[in-house]
Structure 1
Amino acid sequence: MMIKNIIFDFDGTLVDTAPVILATMFATFKELDLPAPSREECKSTIGLRLHEIPSKLFPNRAGLGEIYTKTYQRLFKTYNTPGAIIAFEGVPETLTELKDSGYNLAIASSRHRFSLEEIVNSLKMSTLFDMIIGGDNVKNGKPSPEPVLTISNLMGWQAN
């Protein structure tokens, strides 16, 4: 059976968001007076939904999810300056070639949908995707299969 539908992750797969994410994380820790974990510990949380990150980095400090998320989202706007987030080399051309060849493309990400769409639009890649699902569009984010299954169900795509 021929593949017709491709669902991509976003952060670290299609675009290099790590520098902006890490800068925002460290600013968030500073503002919330939290001890800064190592860069590697922080990198290991990329892909989780924002409210899940504090429980991974600060397991002994319950209840940080909401304030961490709100602070991070506010500070992200400061660090996400035009041109700060770029597509990895060859990604736009490859996505365009896939789309022009008849593939259906989608994104399943833990990033909030508004932020995801904002970045995709800024990179002029929005017309390449048939659907975008953010972490706030599902009950269970990655690594749960729910984001991928949601896209498949809504688009009528069959997994092979």
Structure 2
Amino acid sequence: MRQLIWLRSDLRVHDNSALASAMAAGPTLALYLLSPRQWLAHDDAPCKVDFWLRNLVELQRALQRLNVPLLVRQCDDWEQAPAVLAEVCREQAIAAVQVNEEYGVHESLRDRTTAAYLAQQDVAWHSHLDQLLFKPGSVLTQSGGYFQVYSQFRKVCYQRLHTAL
């Protein structure tokens, strides 16, 4: 089953949950979408975009060592992302797309829209918790609310981590 990892802000090969999952599931391709209009809408500084683009060169080398080709496509903004991903999946006979979760408002909407669009194309969507110990909003008080005191939040986190060991 051919896999596609869609790289967004997770431009690394080490400690990358989605990449590890994709490679364990089958032959893997990586995809990065250039989205210039989205960068402008988010007021991303030119030096930030330059960093991403330079990082892609290094990332491509690291992925080559893992036998994972890097594809780079352009879509002006994230509204076009579902169609671009579907096209890549069709061209490359991709069975599943793997991503690391992102929690921004626009990012969450982009991912929900893309997952739904790909489901219509019979492409599976797998999202992974990455760079976090707990999913945002999952550490709550006994009454189901958010903690008002950090020390109580910390105590619950430590308990959950200890239980997981």
Bin of the TM-score, shorter chain as denominator length: 0.3 to 0.5
Structure possessing the higher radius of gyration over alpha carbons: 2
With the length of structure 1 as denominator, give the TM-score of the two structures.
0.35
- Judging by fraction of residues, say which structure has more strand: 2
